Amino acid sequence: MRSILIGLSLTCLVLGAAISAANDDNAPDTLTIGKAAAVKGGQVAVPIYFFNDQDLAALTIPLSVAGDGARIDSVSFVGGRVAYISTKPVTIDKGRKKVIFGAICMTEDYIAPGQGLMATLYMTIVDSAKADKVTIDTTTIYPASLLFTKSNSSSFIPRTVPGLVTVTATAKKDTKKD
């Protein structure tokens, strides 16, 4: 776990140094965090999509969850556009309210232009959750910030659309007796 965090930190430092202003030349690349519904005491899967109009070499996605009672469990790349990439670091903080994940092309082909699923964020909504809405948005978790890195190593910050989980009361249990 420590080696993944160190590797991600070094990668972020290198990518951060390569940032230049207005480096997204064409249509605005976008990270879209999906919407979902959950019940207190249940789990929820929130899809995270992205659009890019040029080849990408890496993506760094730091997210935070606002709202009482939501905990990040895991990130899955299954079925997503970056599933073929072998280097996909994921670090969830101890409080399970923040996560940094991404994809780095090492020996694989670059991420081709297109749109679709990047990953799915799995969360638990605890029974004692007080909020009826949980927002998921990008953040900066030093030294990582939201970055899309092009094949020429220049980086830029994509447009973002925050996500939302609507929380309802605990599911009613069937009290019917046979």
d(CA 129, CA 167): 8
Distance of CA 167 to the CA centre of its chain: 20
Q: What pLDDT is attached to residue 109?
A: 97
Q: What pLDDT is attached to residue 19?
A: 39
**99-133: pLDDT as tens digits:** 999 999 999 999 999 999 999 999 999 888 877 88
Joined together, the tokens standing for residue 150 give 């092009």
Q: Does the pTM exceed 0.85?
A: no
- The domains located in the chain, with CATH, are 2-157 (2.60.40.680)
**68-101: pLDDT as tens digits:** 789 999 999 999 999 999 999 999 999 999 999 9
